[in-house]
Amino acid sequence: MRKIEFFDTSLRDGEQTPGVSFCISEKVTIAKQLEKWGISVIEAGFPAASPDSFEAVKQIADSLNDTAVTALARCVISDIDKAVEAVKGAKYPQIHVFIATSPIHMKYKLKISPEEVLKNIDKCVKYARERVEVVEFSPEDATRTELNFLLEAVQTAVDAGATYINIPDTVGYTTPEEYGKIFKFLIDNTKSEREIIFSPHCHDDLGMAVANSLAAIKAGAGRVEGTVNGIGERAGNAALEEIAVALHIRKDFYQAQSPLKLSETAATAELISQFSGIAIPKNKAIVGANAFAHESVIHQDGVLKNAETYEIITLELVGIKHNSLPLGKLSGRHAFSEKLTELNIAYDDESLAILFEKFKKLADKKKEITDADIHALFTGETVKNLAGFILDNVQIDGHKALVQLKNQE
């Protein structure tokens, strides 16, 4: 069973999510939770971006005991100097150097030739390797790079001293089959006398980031990169919690395992959600509110008899306390009777039949049935509005209100 390193970039790529900005204390708190979760290496930031980014990386590097800390740097000497200075207090410091290799990036963004890109890779990876023991190199937009040139770029980085080679699907362009073939080609053809570990870094523009990451692992990748809850640029990154649980549940297929303490998964996801201000979608795999919820009568009946009928993941595995059987119009008598028992409502077969009939009529009118609704069915009382009024009608004006702030003299 291969052990896959988990590289978390929630504090760097994740913070590039529009509207997300972590303060330094939040970043340190998140980093400590990531360490508790079992992350192998944390990409703490891009030190050259700003003094605040530099200080955040430095404080994280100084705060962790077991987890490696890396900092991002362009193939620019001044970037590398900043990154090295920021991570020097880490127990296991690393540097992550990148440059774009796709034709569109070289022509329009970098405005340099492929030969100049290779020279930059050689110079900057060597420079970084002289200063830290572990250097990762990323050919940005790798999946839109001509394959032979991609191999040339990777080989140049390996020859210059890179230990890790990351193959980014920067714009979420590739498919699992294509991505797996890229990894197999590079692993088979890169020459080195020392072990070189390849890793995927996938964006979710076409909704395939997790599938692509798993395809790379299947093809031989030894490290995987992503973020908690899949936060990140545009549609986000591969969600690490999904990859980790997939490896656990389908170990028979992937023959690989993560280092994560899966029981800390829910707590980690909630912390990222809290600090980022991005709510976890209810239907989000692994940590969404509906991930263990069942409303259909068939599903509810099966889960009540044996959870494995409709749940391939146990709640305890990912640190969730209990599953949910929300009551709605598709719920059956079994789930309804379980809810009555949970609410300590006494019933016999006759009263159950009457209450269930009332419940089904109510469920046709309401999206979600609350515990208060169930009590009301039992007592025959109308659910009281605690504010002392009954809301008959609501109208919402969708026009935006324009507010002009003026200086007060």
The two beta strands, 134-140 and 2-3, are: unpaired
Q: Looking at residues 26-44, what average pLDDT do you find? A: 97
Residues 260 and 39 sit within 8 Å (Cβ to Cβ): yes
Q: Strand runs (DSSP E) across 25-179, as ranges? A: 41-45, 68-74, 93-100, 134-140, 164-169
Range from 34-38, 210-214, 280-284, 343-347 carrying the lowest mean pLDDT: 343-347
pLDDT of 408: 43
Confidence bin at 81 (pLDDT 50/70/90): very high
Spell out the residues 6+ positions from residue 163 whose beta carbon is closer than 8 angstroms to its own: 134, 135, 136, 194, 195, 196, 197
Q: Which of 28-32, 47-51, 390-394, 401-405 has the lowest mean pLDDT?
A: 401-405
pLDDT the model gives residue 403: 44
Cα(332)–Cα(349) distance, integer angstroms:
15
Q: Is the pLDDT of residue 146 over 80?
A: yes
Compute the average pLDDT of residues 256-262: 97
pLDDT at 386 over 50: no
Helix axes 209-218, 240-249, angle to 10 degrees: 50
Least confident of 29-43, 189-203, 283-297: 283-297
- For residue 99, give the nearest of 130, 131, 69, 77 by alpha carbon: 77
* Mean local confidence (pLDDT), 1-13: 97
Q: Is 258 within 8 Å of 6 (Cβ atoms)?
A: yes
Of 72, 21, 18, 77, residue with least CA distance to 42? 72
For residues 97 and 121, give the distance between their C-alpha atoms in angstroms, rounded to a whole number.
9
What region does 188 belong to: left with phi over 0, alpha with psi -120 to 50, or beta?
alpha
**Cα–Cα distance for residue pair 377/340, rounded to 1 Å:** 11
For residue 355, the model assigns a pLDDT of 82
pLDDT digits (tens, 9 = 90+) for 347-381: 888 888 888 888 788 878 777 777 667 767 766 65
Q: Is the pLDDT of residue 244 over 70?
A: yes
- Of 192, 168, 166, 90, nearest in space to 131 by CA: 90
Q: Find residue 183's DSSP bridge partners.
A: none
Burial (CB count <10 Å: 0-12, 13-18, 19+), residue 169: buried
| Mean pLDDT score of the chain | 89
Which one, of 260, 245, 222, lies nearest residue 292 by Cα? Answer: 245
Q: Tell me: the pLDDT tens digits for 292-308? A: 765 555 565 665 677 66
User: Regarding the domain delimited by 297-379, which CATH topology (the fold level of the hierarchy) does it fall under?
Assistant: Recoverin; domain 1 (1.10.238)
DSSP run (H or E) holding 268: helix 265-276
DSSP assignment string, 91-107: SSEEEEEEEE-SHHIII
Sign of the CA dihedral 168, 170, 172, 178?
negative
Class of domain 2-276 (CATH, top level) = alpha beta
Top pLDDT among 37 and 366 is at: 37
**pLDDT classification of 406: cutoffs 50, 70, 90:** very low
Q: Indicate the domain borders of the chain.
A: 2-276, 297-379
In whole angstroms, give the CA distance from residue 221 to residue 136.
Answer: 14
Q: Which tokens sit at 192?
A: 């080195």
User: In this predicted structure, which of 2-6, 101-105, 239-243, 304-308 has the lowest mean pLDDT?
Assistant: 304-308
What is the reported pLDDT for 49? 97
Q: Which residue has the tokens 């980690």?
A: 268
What is the mean predicted confidence (pLDDT) over 41-59?
98
> What's the mean pLDDT in 183-188?
98
Q: What is the pLDDT averaged over residues 105-123? A: 98
Among 266, 325, 257, CA closest to 297: 325
Q: Do domains 2-276 and 297-379 have the same CATH topology?
A: no
pLDDT of residue 361: 82
Report if pTM > 0.85: no
Token reading at 266? 């829910």
pLDDT over threshold 60, residue 388: no
Q: What is the mean pLDDT of residues 110-115?
A: 98
For the segment 165-179, the average pLDDT, to the nearest whole number, is: 98
Q: Among 56-65, 129-138, 245-254, 327-336, which stretch is predicted with the lowest mean pLDDT?
A: 327-336
With a cut of 80, say whether residue 323 has pLDDT above it: no
Q: Which of 66-80, 174-188, 224-238, 271-285 has the lowest mean pLDDT?
A: 271-285
Place of tokens 């605690």: 386
Main-chain dihedrals φ then ψ at residue 138, nearest 5 degrees: -125, 125
